[in-house]
Amino acid sequence: MELAAYLERIGFSGQARPDLATLRALHRAHLAAIPYENLDVQLGRRVTPDPAAAFDKLVTRRRGGWCYEMNGVLGAALGAIGFKVTRLAGGVMRAVAGDSATGNHLVLLVDVAGQPWIADVGLGGGTLEPYRLAAGPVSISGYDFRLEGADDGWWRFHNHPNFGAPSFDFRLAPADPAMLAAKCDWLQSAPESIFVQHLIVHRFRREEALQIVDRTLHRVTPDRVEKTVMQSADELVAVLAADFGLDLPETAALWPSLLDRHERAMAADAEA
């Protein structure tokens, strides 16, 4: 882990220590600097959960990534600073899908002065800061969340309603790397995977969040969501560069499929 390069990438210039102030500052800085995105999946490029590959992509090549990459790099950085970090297997929408969802999300358990905290920069819409592992409401920068105990040793995180995934579950046992790798492969190849079906990009700018789903740009605050439908491939490429820091002109090739998805969604809404 080249810690100095990571800290430069996220714009962190303070003294990095294994304390709560550093954890909070890194969490916010990471989300502000590095977007959540599944563009490689959409472009047919294989993604792995290997932290070294994620470092090269997010830090060296200044890209974004999804949970395995985002939390993989943050977890490696926290370990290099001196935190005790445990990688946990989460399950987004396990409340609906059951245990088959386990491993579709990577979460970090971080020990801070003997107290357990959850760090998660890889949800694509979640908390700006880490939160204590304790049942009850969580409020950060005006966004309200909730953490509760679920069944059989599971914890359940309830997301803010203006963000994408309504909930995810996790246990405190260390994740099985082989299981995460298998789920990572499934999420980028299965036709029923949301990451195969939709382009998703997310980034925080202070307390506002920006999110692209296919050809729609969302501007999200705690009390509203404003939507703008992009009109061309050139506009998509420009928005990715200007608002998300992603200089990827090859994403213009995705435009025909984005148009098709949008039209099918509009037709389904009209029938409903």
Closest CA to 26 of 69, 68, 81: 81
Structure tokens at 85: 């970090």
Given the residues 27, 30, 40, 105, select the one marked as catalytic: 105
Beta bridge partners of 90: 105, 170
Asked if 160 is an active-site residue, the reply is no
| Cα(179)–Cα(65) distance, integer angstroms | 19
Which amino acid type is present at position 129?
Answer: E
What are the CA-CA distances from residue 2 to residues 155, 210, 261 (Å)? 33, 29, 40
Cα–Cα distance measured from residue 111 to residue 117, given in angstroms and rounded to the nearest whole number: 6
For the question of residue 120 being annotated catalytic, the response is: yes
Q: Helix %, strand %, coil % for the chain, to 5? A: 40, 30, 30
**Which one-letter amino acid corresponds to residue 186?**
W
Token pair recorded at residue 3: 């810690």
Considering 27, 30, 120, 160, which one is annotated as catalytic? 120
30, 67, 160, 218: the catalytic one is 67
d(CA 92, CA 196): 16
Q: What single string gives the DSSP state of each residue in 192-245?
A: T-HHHH--EEEEEETTEEEEEETTEEEEEETTEEEEEE--SHHHHHHHHHHHH-
Enumerate the active-site residues.
Answer: 67, 105, 120
